[in-house]
Amino acid sequence: MNKKLLGVLLSLLAIVGVLSGCGKTDAGSADKKEVRIGYFPNLTHIATIVGLENNYFAEEFGEDIKITTKTVSNGGLFMEAMASNSIDIGTVGPGPVINYYVKDPKYHIVSGAVNGGAVVIANGKSGINELADLDGKRIAIPVIGSTQDVMLRKALKDVDLKAKANGGTVEFFAAAPADTATLFIQDSVDGAATQEPWGYILQNQADGKLILDWEDFAWGKESTNTVVATSDAFLKNEKLSTAYLTAHAKAVQFIRDEPEKAQELVVKHIKDLTGKEIASDELEAAFTRIEVTTDVNEDVLQEMADISQEADYIKTNEIDGLINLEAIKKITAN
């Protein structure tokens, strides 16, 4: 290739690089035109679902901002998406956020979303009648290191049991919540620590027996199931982060004021996403096991970090800086 032609090609590549760079804006860019929201298609992410269905996010962001959504099946996938800059903000369990924060402190919990919503259900054929009976049993959890994993470890401490992976006798078996009913029917697991509506489904469709209701599981009503998480970059974009949290607070208030309408929106949303409709009786019963909130109990999250460190999921339990509630407190105070 002659020098003249090579020079032309290099010039063209430089121009393409500049043009492609002009079309990209990171999460904290002042001229960002798109907000990418992540969440799970289940009941414990009801605040995000209601915010989308009632157009609260669209109203707060305005016409100039495009909203895209990404649904995932577990918190690990959510945090991977955030780490790879595929989502900006959304709802997830606190366990995965803690796991990522201690490795890279650029992630933050900026609001609560749902407390409770998790239960322990025994397989009807397992012989389990109380928590102590989990000794030597195999229990399904959504994913290793998940919020339900940490909650189960907390509960086991109360009966002097611990996970097999850490020298105990209770085997933790990672399985998608939607698959647990099949696992019960096949007798592949003896029980499950799971979120709603899967707990109710296990009870009513897979001969499951309720061992710990949401008010008794781990920290009870203070058990933080779902939070709003984001990164440094998006949080620093005050206009957009405030808009998201304002919409989130509106959704939480709507759910409190209009629980039946909120449930209808969840049924519609999940059916539109998956083609599957949650029975209204399942949803209504499961709904009694959650509490929507913008509050976060920082003591509970610290204990979750302590338990995760004991389980060797994280190297340190230092989470100072993880929780930043300044914006949501201003919004809800008005």
> If you write DSSP's letter for every residue of 14-67 in order, what string do you get?
HHHHHHHHHT---TT-TT--EEEEEE-SSGGGHHHHHHHHTTHHHHHH-TTSEE
Residue type, 112: G
Q: What is the pLDDT of residue 276?
A: 79
Residues 6+ apart with CB under 8 A from 263: 280, 283, 284, 287
CA separation for the pair 191, 121 (Å, rounded): 5
pLDDT of 24 higher than 60: no
Side-chain half-sphere CA neighbours of 262 within 13 A: 26
Whether omega for the bond prior to residue 197 falls within 30 degrees of 0, making it cis, is: yes
Q: What is the pLDDT of residue 28?
A: 57
CA separation for the pair 95, 153 (Å, rounded): 12
Instruction: Assess contact for 79 and 93: CB atoms under 8 A.
Output: no
pLDDT of 2 higher than 50: no
Beta carbons within 10 angstroms of residue 302's beta carbon: 17
Q: What is the pLDDT of residue 73?
A: 86
Chain center to CA of 253 = 19
Average pLDDT over residues 55-67: 96
Average pLDDT over residues 313-321: 96
Residue type, 106: K
Cα angle vertex 213, ends 116, 173, to 5°?
85
pLDDT of 306 higher than 80: yes
| Segment 175-230, tens digit of pLDDT | 988 899 999 999 999 999 999 888 999 998 999 999 999 999 999 999 999 999 99
Residues 6+ apart with CB under 8 A from 288: none
pLDDT of 243 higher than 70: yes
Per-residue tokens: 275: 């083609």
Helix 259-274 / helix 238-257 crossing angle, nearest 10 deg: 120
Confidence class for position 27, pLDDT limits 50, 70, 90: low
Per-residue tokens: 179: 């698959």
Confidence class for position 12, pLDDT limits 50, 70, 90: very low
The model's pTM: 0.86
DSSP, residue by residue, 204-238: HHS-EEEEE-TTTSTTGGG-EEEEEEEEHHHHH-H
- Please give the share of the chain, as a percent, with pLDDT higher than 90: 78
pLDDT of 93 higher than 70: yes
Confidence class for position 30, pLDDT limits 50, 70, 90: low
CA separation for the pair 134, 127 (Å, rounded): 9
Confidence class for position 5, pLDDT limits 50, 70, 90: very low
Q: How many angstroms separate the Cα of 218 from the Cα of each of 24, 147, 224, 301?
A: 44, 11, 10, 12
Enumerate domains of the chain plus CATH numbers: 32-116+223-333 (3.40.190.10), 118-221 (3.40.190.10)
pLDDT of 295 higher than 60: yes
Q: How many angstroms separate the Cα of 31 from the Cα of each of 58, 64, 66, 240, 276?
A: 17, 10, 12, 10, 38
DSSP, residue by residue, 307-332: HHHHTTS-S----TTSB--HHHHHHH
Cβ burial 306-320 (10 Å sphere, 16+ → b, else e) = ebbbbbebbeebebe
CA separation for the pair 259, 99 (Å, rounded): 33
Residues 6+ apart with CB under 8 A from 7: none
Mean pLDDT computed over every residue of the chain: 90
Confidence class for position 23, pLDDT limits 50, 70, 90: very low
Instruction: Assess contact for 79 and 100: CB atoms under 8 A.
Output: yes
Q: What is the pLDDT of residue 13?
A: 37
Q: What is the pLDDT of residue 281?
A: 79
